[in-house]
Amino acid sequence: MWRIWKAAAAGGMAVALLTVTACGKDGASPSSSPSPTAKPKAQSTTNGNSARSLSQRGGGIIAQGTNEDAVIPIKVIGNTNYIPVSQLIQTLNYKSNWEDGHTKLQIGDNDANFELIMNTNKAVKDGAEIQLGQSVVQEGDNAYLPVSAVGDLFQDDMSFEVKNQELRIHPSTISTPPNEDAPDPAGTSPDLDFSDDPADPFRGDEDAEAAVPLLDQALPAWTDLGNDQVVPVLKNVNINAMIRKGKQYLGVKYRFGTGPYPKTGRFDCSTFTQYVYGKYGVSLPRVARQQGTRGNLVSRKSLRKGDLMFFYVPGRFKSNRTVGHVGIYIGNMRMLHASPEPKNGVQITNINKAYWKKTFLKAKRIVY
């Protein structure tokens, strides 16, 4: 069973990108499953000697009309401090999904960066298993994360502190357009403009025939030297043919945390790039953050067709340092990617907009 929980935009910010990359159990049609936790009611609290009006917004307790912290109350379970996972998900504007019979909770932006295994001390972050100090607890329909594990999993994604039996998440000071079509004077800076590399050998002629045979399955295409050094060993890829192949999937629906496309008929942002590159013998990791460690860095001023582009997903309480979305650059300020917005599914987007310019983190060249 699976169910996608779409997080409300924290601080009133509507995000144009996908919400977390955790989708449900693979299958053709969804069935409902319990939520990570019930929606809390509005409440008030006291800070020192002055009372302030609070509401439950985006899952965390946020002071109305202020730039104050989001506050998630701590619950003691068996002498251990826990927080309700759903409030963290909503506060960080993440997506989530239950799978494997409601025993695994996937969390992320546009793909599943995190997995919590219920009633165990096992978790997954960016594809790597983590042993937590205490177990994740499931009580009925609710999932609770030990406070001691918050930093292990989310220290790169938010700024926070534990105080007075509360987890206080500090708001981001980064100003980002609320959606990809919103104007932003800061986004007109020439320093943020994207540019094509005039020396790109695959400029134009997108309908050129493939120079190498199309593969039914991905082949190993990397030599791992350790210490995060990865050297591409496959270079003879016709980028125009690869882009043309990717366009064949335009309109295929998005599903957070989805499994392999041949099984599910769906993509999230990173399974799409993984699948398209895999068709040409290039093996990429499962999630966007891992894919961002591959290849060579490329300037936004020297983009070539086939480069992977990585972006953060903005939110009032989120970091602007972590990869939350990935797409394939196809030239002329356009990106081919899988996203739930503004359309639902594989689509082509004009990135010559303030939103994409300001959320851009890096580009990586995987093939040549």
DSSP code at position 74: -
Residues with Cβ < 8 Å from 90, sequence gap 6 or more? Answer: 7, 8, 10, 58, 59, 60
* End-to-end Cα spacing for the chain: 41
Which pLDDT band, with edges at 50, 70 and 90, does 41 fall under?
Answer: very low
Could you check whether the bond before residue 342 is cis, i.e. omega within 30 degrees of 0?
yes
**Per-residue pLDDT reduced to its tens digit, 24-33:** 333 333 333 3
- pLDDT beyond 50 at 58: no
- pLDDT beyond 60 at 140: yes
Question: Would you name the residues annotated as active-site residues?
Answer: 269, 325, 337
Which pLDDT band, with edges at 50, 70 and 90, does 85 fall under?
Answer: very high
CA distance 221 to 285: 11
Give pLDDT, residue 175: 72
Which pLDDT band, with edges at 50, 70 and 90, does 235 fall under?
Answer: low
Which pLDDT band, with edges at 50, 70 and 90, does 217 fall under?
Answer: very low
Which pLDDT band, with edges at 50, 70 and 90, does 206 fall under?
Answer: low
Give pLDDT, residue 90: 94
Give pLDDT, residue 48: 31
Query: Structure pTM?
Result: 0.77
In the numeric block, the tokens 């190993």 are attached to 220
Residues with Cβ < 8 Å from 32, sequence gap 6 or more? Answer: 1, 3
- pLDDT beyond 80 at 368: no
